[in-house]
Amino acid sequence: MQYKENDITGIGNSNTAGRKFWRVAFAVYAISEALFIVISYLITYSKCKVCVLPIPFYITMFFINLLLTILLWYVLNYFHKQALWKIILGNIFIFVVYYFFIIGLLYLLLNSKQEWLVWPVKFRSFTSVVYDSWTEIGKYVVKLSAFYMLKFYTEFQRVGEQRIQLAVINKDMQLNLLKQQLSPHFYFNTLNNLYGLSRSNSSQLSVALSQLSNIMQYVIVDCNKPKVLLRQEINFLQSYIELEKLRYEKNTIIEMSVTGNVNSQTILPLLLIQFVENAFKHGMKEKSDRSWMRVSMNIDDNELLFTVENSFYDVTASHGIGINSVKHILNLQYEGRHDIQMRHEDNSFSVTLKLNL
């Protein structure tokens, strides 16, 4: 069984709101088009009664223009996030197709000899139709400008909403992580282990105290920044795992490996600890020879591949509040730059996170 997270939570609501916005925008455009036709007709009629065409012609062109607007906006929506050269070539191609289609259609309608649609006048040459098509070019420019203005507005609104969501979820995530991952239970267990080490005059005591100091420094001071260096997050995870290992038998497999070049990459603080804590909480038993956990990180330039594999006992491991919070954060902070997969097979559980830092 495999889980894959690619969508922003609540995107269905966002899509519904987006579709409603575009429907309203199109309705406004349709009204504007209708007003333009009515005003143009009245002005022309007041100056030259024989210059106007039958009303059905204008109604037909109105609906044709609305249909073409829908098609144009739909195609532009497909192109607008492509590479710049594709956008330029795409817009040139769309304009040429649109222009010659509308001119050809006008040519056919004006020479259709349908008296209910056009007056029975002399044949109109294709050249004359092209010469009189400046209004169609103007309409195309209006449709094109309207699309990009509306698209810019919707993108601006979406980014603003995501920033608000990110601020709220970031706050909730920080609280969840501090309460769950580094809860009083963690410190209580750690202090008990340190007490045991001091009673036996173990050489591990000074190392364990240093690791606890690193954790507290990171959580209390470093995590107040929006981003931290990746090496700080790695050092934090290593210290956390080493302290947790004190609770288990010496032959219990608990490993963490880091490969690749860690330079000046940055990451959201406390992003990865949830997966490690989740493995300890749901996959490790202190008095069991079947418990095991492996954490691996590979860094290739700005690409991070983070994997946690562990023994598995608790079927709720992938549905906790902490895991869901991390998914929300990934969707908002690393939208389009991450892929997370969770896999449960037999008595093992794994999480694989690919992240573009």
Distance of alpha carbon 165 from alpha carbon 71, whole angstroms: 33
Q: Cβ neighbours of residue 161 under 8 Å, at least 6 residues apart? A: 14
In the chain, the N- to C-terminal Cα span, in Å, equals 28
Q: How many CB atoms lie within 10 A of CB 323?
A: 20
CA nearest to 149, candidates 66, 73, 65: 73
pLDDT tens, position by position, 287-339: 667 788 999 999 998 899 999 998 876 655 455 556 777 787 788 778 888 99
Mean pLDDT, to the nearest integer, of 225-250? 86
DSSP string, 187-207: HHHHHHHHHHHHHTT-THHHH
Mean pLDDT, to the nearest integer, of 65-82? 83
Distance of alpha carbon 111 from alpha carbon 117, whole angstroms: 10
DSSP state of 178: I
CA nearest to 306, candidates 269, 253, 240, 259: 259
0.75 exceeded by pTM = no
Q: What is the rounded average pLDDT for all residues in the chain?
A: 79
Distance of alpha carbon 280 from alpha carbon 291, whole angstroms: 10
Burial bucket for residue 211 (CB in 10 Å: 0-12, 13-18, 19+): buried
- What integer pLDDT is reported at residue 303 of this predicted model? 92
Distance of alpha carbon 302 from alpha carbon 357, whole angstroms: 5
Distance of alpha carbon 252 from alpha carbon 290, whole angstroms: 8
- What integer pLDDT is reported at residue 7 of this predicted model? 38
Mean pLDDT, to the nearest integer, of 240-264? 86
The amino acid sitting at 137 is I
Distance of alpha carbon 117 from alpha carbon 236, whole angstroms: 78
pLDDT tens, position by position, 321-335: 567 777 877 887 788
The sign of the dihedral angle between the CA atoms of 180, 263, 228, 155 is negative
Determine how β-strand 292-300 pairs with β-strand 253-260: parallel
Mean pLDDT, to the nearest integer, of 134-151? 84
- The DSSP element (H or E) to which 236 belongs, if any, is helix 230-245
Nearest 5°: the CA angle 236, 242, 191 is 95
- What integer pLDDT is reported at residue 78 of this predicted model? 77
- What integer pLDDT is reported at residue 196 of this predicted model? 76
Distance of CA 247 to the CA centre of its chain: 40
* Sheet of 338-345, strand order: 2-5, 338-345, 348-356, 303-311, 292-300, 253-260
* Cβ atoms 289, 332 nearer than 8 A: no
What is the number of residues in the chain? 357
- What integer pLDDT is reported at residue 169 of this predicted model? 67
- What integer pLDDT is reported at residue 307 of this predicted model? 94
Distance of alpha carbon 134 from alpha carbon 99, whole angstroms: 10
Asked if the model's pLDDT at residue 93 lies above 50, the reply is yes
| Confidence at 230, pLDDT banded by 50, 70, 90 | very high
